[in-house]
Structure formats: structure tokens, C-alpha cells
Amino acid sequence: MLSLVAPPALGRSPLPAEGGGAGAVLRAVLADGPLTRSDVGRATALSPAAVSRHTADLNALGLVRELPAADGPPRAGRPQLPLDIDTRHHLACGVHIGVPWLTFALLDLRGRVVAQERVPRRGDAAAVLTALQAYLPGFLARRAAGHSLLGLGVVTGGWVDPESGSVIEHGPLGWRDVPVRDVLARTTRLPVHVDSHARALAQAELLFGAGSRATELVQLFVGNVVDAAIATGGTVLRGRRSRAGDIGHVAVPGSTEACPCGRTGCLQATVSDWTIARRAHALGLTPAVDFDRLLALAGAGDTAVLRLFEERLRLIAPAAGLLLDVLNPEVLVISEGGLTVAPSLRPYLAEQIRRHSNAAPEQLVTATEFGRETLAVAACAGVLDSVFQRPMELRTAARAQR
């Protein structure tokens, strides 16, 4: 039986200080837990009384728990049992809408993928939203039974407005002004967080990944869509009308690939998964246009296929170098399929980027830690981020449900 404890879907950017003391305690335990209460006090600059109060609140919500005492000689006074994130009760659900697939995922509070299923994406926006609503109840019954759901995240590439919960424009899917949140919130009765794939990934990297010690982070995603996301002061930038990070249409010198935007030679059109799968097929490397097959060949070390991925990385290097120099983040995380399956490509990319940038080597992360789970993690990131920013809103939501 599914129960629902959920924060209201808020369409505003969380500030680092948001969520008050309880949020600070929860994020400290996430970043460095298990922690004793004195460790939490040091990490958050909260008084012992405040730490105790917030810990009790978070414990009552099933967000943190006390671990059993470690073995050792008994000590006088109250034992300092370490606190950790409680991953037993809550799950975040998410859906990534891609060009070839819809990926359904469940993550625990530590951002670990508990379940993941995918089905082919077919048809227009209305058909996709109908398919998604039809698939979700079975997925949740199979994989989330006995847990409370924190909400539903929906992410996709392109121009997405979290404020209105709509996909404003997704070139490769041909979507325009699709009110995803309105449609799904009505039928699923879950709070729905809609965001761009790249921004959601940046949020996930800040919470659980390469950026968990950083506040200045840039995410560059290369798939069927090419997108960037910029976090500064620990908050992911949306920009005017939520369009920040749209780097997919910078011109690639010499490229004649036609882009749905009407121009030719755009970065996204030149290096997308679809474009290189088509190129591989034309070169006779695969029997059909099949990106998954191409990834498998790259993973197996096929030299001609690896050359094709190197060419793609060479073409994205100027954009990566530009992001590094203009924004000078603590880390730039690059998420690209070839880097995930063939780590031998990583030094090649680093070398290509050095040709275009003054950045220090430690600023560059050539592969997300999420690897093959990138889509699943991104799908749920918005839901988890809202819990870590504003944990006490769970209580308000639970009360409202009664």
C-alpha cells in the first residue's frame, strides 16, 4: 500500500539558507554522515539544543535515524549515537522523457537508484503523457510498495520552465508549450517537479555527486540534446524565462548539419546521439542507426567507433572550454555516453579542452559519477532537492493529506 507524504510543488529557486536549521542539519548529515550531534553542531554552527530539536523533528519525519552504538568500552554520560540519513521509508519517483526512451526511476534519500525501467517513447506529447500515466501505477505497485512517495520528478532536454511546469520547446521531440505538470498533477495526485535534464543533473551533482563539496558547478550534457546548467552559490541558475544554459546552438565551424531551429551547423545537431548513430551506420560500423549498439561497441574497444566518439568530443571541447573560462566553476561535469562506457576517452577530452581553456585540471570532471544511471538520477533530483532544502514542509504536506 502506498502512502503519500509530500512537499507542495513550489516553483521557486531554493536558496542555500532555505529550510532553516532543519535543512542545514539534514544537508550536513547527507554530506558527511554518519555524524554525531557534536559534529552536526560544528558543521552547522547551531547550538546543541537546536541540533537536538531539529534532529528530533527530522527523526519523526523518517528522514534521519540514530545508528546503533559502535563497539567499544562503555562511556559515562549520554552516549553520542551517530546520525545518518534514513533511507528506509521514503522514495522519490521520476521520469526522464528522452527521444528514444521513457525512463522510470525510484531513488532513495541518498540518491541511490532503487529501481529503473524504460519503455520506448512513441508519438507526440499527448501520446507520451498518456503512456506515462498508464505506466506509472504498475511501476509504483511493482517497485515502491511499502514506501512513501516524496513526489514525481519529470525531466527532459531543451527549454523547460520549472515555474510553470511546462516544456516550452524541445526541438528533437518537436514539443512546444506542453503543460506537463498540470496534466500529471491532476491524475497522479503527487506533487510534480518539472525541470530541464541538465539543471536536474546539476542539482544531483551538488547533492550526491562530483559537486557535493562545491557551490560553483557547471554541468554539460551531451545526448540527443546538448545543454548546460550553471550552479552558483549552490543554487542552479534558471535565467530569464528559465532559458539559461542553452548552449546547443552555438555554431560549429565547417558543420553543415541542419538543425530544427532553422540554422545549420549547430553544436546539438552536429554531435547529437542520433547524428553520430547515423554517421556510424553510413560508415558501415553498425547494421542500423542504433546508438545503444554504438555504445556497446565503444565499450568493447572497437577502434573505428572510438574514433567517432573522439571526433564528437573534439567538437564539444570548445564549448566546454568556453564554459570553464567564462564561469570559472569549481567543477565542470561532462555527461556524455562515450565517456561513460569507454573511460579511455577521458584523457583525450581533457587534452582537447586544454586547447581551448585556461582552466586547471582539477576543475574538469570528465564523467559523471552517475554513469549509466544518469537519466534515473536526473529524473528524481528535483524531488530530492526540495526535501533537502525544505524538509519541514513534509510535515505540513502530511497534515494536509489527512
Q: Give the residue with the Cβ less far from Zn ion, 269 or 353.
A: 269
Cis status of the peptide bond prior to 34, with omega within 30 of 0:
yes
Q: Which stretch binds Zn ion (CB under 5 A): 66-74, 241-249, 305-313, 385-393?
A: 241-249
Distance CA 128, CA 131 (A): 5
Interface residues for Zn ion in 242-271 (CB under 5 A)?
249, 259, 261, 263, 266
Long-range CB pairs of 263-268, under 8 A, 24+ apart, other chains included: 267/226, 267/315, 267/316, 267/319, 268/171, 268/225, 268/226
Size of the site for Zn ion (CB under 5 A): 5
Q: Give the residue with the Cβ less far from Zn ion, 69 or 258.
A: 258
User: What DSSP designation does 288 have?
Assistant: S
Q: Give the residue with the Cβ less far from Zn ion, 87 or 264.
A: 264
Interface residues for Zn ion in 100-129 (CB under 5 A)?
none
Distance CA 363, CA 381 (A): 23
Amino acid at site 303:
T
Helix (H) or strand (E) holding 27: helix 20-32
Q: Give the residue with the Cβ less far from Zn ion, 77 or 262.
A: 262
Q: Give the residue with the Cβ less far from Zn ion, 312 or 390.
A: 312
Distance CA 311, CA 19 (A): 45
What is the rounded (10 degree) CA torsion for 58, 59, 60, 63? 60
Q: How far is the CB of 218 from Zn ion (least distance, A)?
A: 21
Contact call for residues 205 and 229 (beta carbons, < 8 A):
no
Q: How far is the CB of 145 from Zn ion (least distance, A)?
A: 44
Q: How far is the CB of 269 from Zn ion (least distance, A)?
A: 6
Q: Give the residue with the Cβ less far from Zn ion, 106 or 266.
A: 266
Report the 10 Å Cβ neighbour count for 362: 8
Rounded to whole angstroms, what are the CA distances from 94 to 49, 335, 395, 396? Answer: 37, 19, 22, 22
Q: How far is the CB of 316 from Zn ion (least distance, A)?
A: 15
Q: Give the residue with the Cβ less far from Zn ion, 17 or 261.
A: 261
Contact call for residues 105 and 378 (beta carbons, < 8 A):
no
Binding site for Zn ion (CB under 5 A): 249, 259, 261, 263, 266
